[in-house]
Amino acid sequence: LAKTTQPISMDSYEGQEVNITCSHNNIATNDYITWYQQFPSQGPRFIIQGYKTKVTNEVASLFIPADRKSSTLSLPRVSLSDTAVYYCLVGTDQGGKLIFGQGTELSVKP
């Protein structure tokens, strides 16, 4: 499974757009990228998933360049409630175990 690298922490202010970039240099052809969000004392929650180009849902956008060696999670106009840890994961098409890294701790300030 491809290993991922993300910044340990990021700070932002309410109303700003936040972009968290993840590196996955060894991603394989059949691998896809998923982002999860985790609040304290809760399990991770699925945010968004993609294979290439751009994916958007009601929560976030995911940008994946053509070489797929990185991906960027974009959170538009963050609020205090977006303060959480964000994990980037790479998984195979057929599922199975996902390996979590240390994640990015996002702190949104008023």
Interface with other proteins (CB under 8 A) = 32, 34, 36, 41-46, 49, 51, 85, 87, 91, 93-103
Phi, psi of 43 (to 5 degrees): -80, 160
Three-class SS state of 28: coil
Q: What minimum distance in Å lies between the beta carbon of 101 and other proteins?
A: 5
Q: What minimum distance in Å lies between the beta carbon of 14 and other proteins?
A: 25
Q: What minimum distance in Å lies between the beta carbon of 69 and other proteins?
A: 19
Nearer to other proteins, 13 or 51 (CB): 51
Residue-wise DSSP of 39-53 = -TTS--EEEEEESSE
Using CA atoms, how far apart are residues 67 and 99, in angstroms rounded to an integer?
21
Phi, psi of 91 (to 5 degrees): -130, 165
Nearer to other proteins, 11 or 93 (CB): 93
Nearer to other proteins, 16 or 34 (CB): 34
